[in-house]
Every structure is written in structure tokens, then in C-alpha cells.
Amino acid sequence: MKAEIITIGDELLIGQTVNTNAAWLGAELSRLGFDIVRSTAIHDRREDILRILSDVNGRAELVMITGGLGPTSDDITKQTLCEFFDTTLVTNQEVLGMIELMLQRRNMQLNENNRKQADVPASCRVLFNATGTAPGMWFEKEGTIFISLPGVPLEMKYIMTEHVLPELKKRFRSDIIIHKNLMTYGTWEARLAELLTDFEAQLPTHIKLAYLPSFGVIKLRLTGSGNDYERLSEDIDFQVRKLYNVIPQYIYGEDEVSIEEAVGRLLKERNLKVCTAESCTGGRISQMITSVPGSSAYFSGSVVAYDNSVKMNLLGVRKSTLESFGAVSRETAEEMASGALSLFGCDFAIAVTGISGPDGGTPEKPVGTVWISIASAEKITSGKHQFINDRNINIRRFAIEALNMLRLRILGD
């Protein structure tokens, strides 16, 4: 079963809006067994809409369309759909009543633009929208189902969940598809693929492995297809166990778990607390930790020691250390970690000092250099890492690397 996704809106093409609708639709349709063969973003222009509709007609069993259904003059999708399906707009009284009631509840008056949202192509099946004023529309032509939905994510997801997905489940019977993700960190994609050469070679034909890298984190996605859910689940679980045996040092979690969530779980399970002393990351590590609900159970606090005077006055870094080794050094990172450990009285302290860029690098310490130390009452472990010359990427990578080092320390201790 093939499906295509069309998202309409100039804002998607010029980068003002991130196209989250396409990603969500792709995930949901994939779970139903659809093969998403193409996703296209196009202008809010009649000729572009007509062209793409003509192209996809008959090419896929299902075409999902989002956007262009608002109350303003630049939303032209309905009129263009009428042209494509050779029909006309008619007022749907039930939709009009829902719009009137919704506006009354918001203490808003119905105007002509809102009234026009109750106009739908006569040949469509109306998909009622309890979260907004634009209904969805279901068409069928020459063996292809076309479904047009509002571009507002909340409204699109409501109509999909309440109306579209249940109907598609009834209409289409296909192989079951199961995705399982393992989250890894600590090596690069080419090296990971090398380590998994034998694993991939033994995979059964109904299970595929994909590598999805982002900021050093590599998501390994196992995708299995079949007609027996329990058997397929067992097959996927078996391959997951094999991966844990092959690369245990790199797997930090499953599904979409973030490194900060994985570290938080370890700290909470072991009743441990952590604090941070951050220079080049400017509080990014503590922000990542505290973004996880319940992090107050294991996070005590942070010192953002951007200036050397803060390193000395709050963390106890010695002036002689800074003069002899520099702010970006093992010695400074370790004294920062020790100082934070003493200041907060935690089980672990993370310290980070480096050169994010784009300026500040030297031949000996180029942009992207970072020293990270993890301190406990028993010992301090430190590591030097070298990343690239992009400031924002470096800050993100420094923070992830620091959290992964803490993860390995917790597991090692």
C-alpha cells in the first residue's frame, strides 16, 4: 500500500514553519503498514496544487493533504480541490452550526470568512473538526483516496485520530510493521556500521536496520514486517538482545529516550545526585537535565563559571592552575569538578571547559576542544574531546558528551 503526503503553505518552503505535520503523518501511516513513497511541500498556488494532484492520482492508494483551509483569502485549497474533482462548494449546515457554537464559546462573532469555512466540495465526505473551524474532507478518484486536512497540527491530529485512522484500518489490510529504536552514543556512524557488519548479515529478510544520526547520537531502527504480531515482536526482541551483546557500551536507551532522560533514570534508580560546573556550555547541561520531569530528585544545582574569576571565587580553581595550564585544560576541569562537588555536596559533579567558537582557538587548542571531568568523592575521571568549528553544534555536543561520560561513570562505579 503506497501513500503520499502533500503539505501546502509558503511558510513551509521559506523556513518560517517546521513541517511537523509530514513527520507525524508519516509515522502514523507507517504504523498502519503504508509505504510512504513521497512527501512534498508546495506553494499555496492553484497551479501548483493542481499539478501535484494530477501527478499523484493513481500513483498511490492514499494521498494525505494538509494546509490551505483557513478563513483568509490566501487559503485556496478548497476551491482548487473543487476544480480537480469537478465539483462545487456547498454550505454544510452541520459544520456551520459547529463553527457558530465554537465562536460563541470563545465570545467571538461569526463573520463572512468564518461562514465560508462551512463551504465544502459537494462530492467530499466531511470529516468534522471539534478543535477548530476547518473541517477535513475525504475524496476518492480512480482508485486513490485523497484526504485534505487543516494545517494546524492540533486540528490535523484530531481529525486523523478520530476519523481517518479508524477508517483506514477498516479499509486496508496489510502486513504488520513494527519499529524498534535503540539509542547509541560514543562512536561515529561508519565505525558503528563496521561493528555491526556481521549482525546485519544475519538479519532475516523481514527485518531491516537503519542508522539515523543526530548530534553524535545514532538511532538504530529495526523495522520488521509480517502478518503475525506476536511472532514478529519476538523476532524483533531477539535482534534487540543480540545488539545489546554486540555493542553494549554504546547503547544508552530504547525508543526515543534522550541521553538526559537515560542519565536521570540511572541517578534516580541509584538514589544519586549530580551538580554541574559549566564554562563553555553556559548552562546547557543543567538545562538538559532539568528539562526532564522529576529531575529535582537527582539534580542539586549548577555554577555557570564563564569568567575565570567565577572559576576561582566560587569553585576554588587556583590562579596558578589557570596561569600554568589555561582555562581549557584537564587541571582546570578537575578543579572545577572538585569545587562543585564540595559546594553542592553531591554524589557526582560534571565540569566542562572548552572553546565553542567561532573565535578563541589556537593551534594547540583549536575551536571545538573541550575538557570534561566527572568527580565523585572517590575519584575524578577526565577526557579531552575535539569537535568542529560550529558554535551551536559544539555546545550541544559538549553537553551530550558530558552526560554520556556521567552515564558510563555511574555504570562503571
Where residue 118 falls (left for φ over 0; alpha for ψ -120 to 50; beta otherwise) is alpha
> What is the four-CA torsion angle of 263, 268, 273, 276, rounded to 10 degrees?
30
Q: Which residues contact 33 (CB under 8 A, 6 or more apart)?
A: 1, 172, 174, 175, 176, 177, 225
In this model, does residue 227 exceed pLDDT 90? no
Structure confidence at residue 5 (pLDDT): 97
> Residue 246, CB half-sphere, CA atoms under 13 Å: how many?
18
pLDDT tens track for 291-344: 999 999 999 999 999 999 999 999 999 999 999 999 999 999 999 999 999 999
Indicate yes or no: pTM above 0.85: no
pLDDT at 133: 84
102-119 pLDDT per residue, tens = 888 888 888 888 888 889
Q: What is the mean pLDDT of residues 232-237?
A: 96
The pLDDT of residue 380 is 98
Q: Is the pLDDT of residue 79 over 80?
A: yes
User: What is the pLDDT averaged over residues 193-222?
Assistant: 95
Q: Angle of helix 308-315 relative to helix 330-344, nearest 10 degrees?
A: 40
Q: In this prediction, what percent of the chain has a pLDDT beyond 90? A: 81
Average pLDDT over residues 386-405: 95
Q: What is the mean pLDDT of residues 88-95?
A: 92
End-to-end Cα separation, the chain, in angstroms: 50
What domains can be seen in the chain, in order of their start residue?
2-171 (3.40.980.10), 176-254 (3.30.70.2860), 270-412 (3.90.950.20)
Rounded mean pLDDT, 337-352: 98
Contacts of 323 (CB under 8 A, 6+ apart): none
Write the pLDDT tens digit of every residue in 26-48: 999 988 888 899 999 999 899 99
Average pLDDT of the chain, as a whole number: 94
Instruction: Look at residue 248 and tell me whether its pLDDT is greater than 90.
Output: yes
Tell me the one-letter amino acid at 170. K
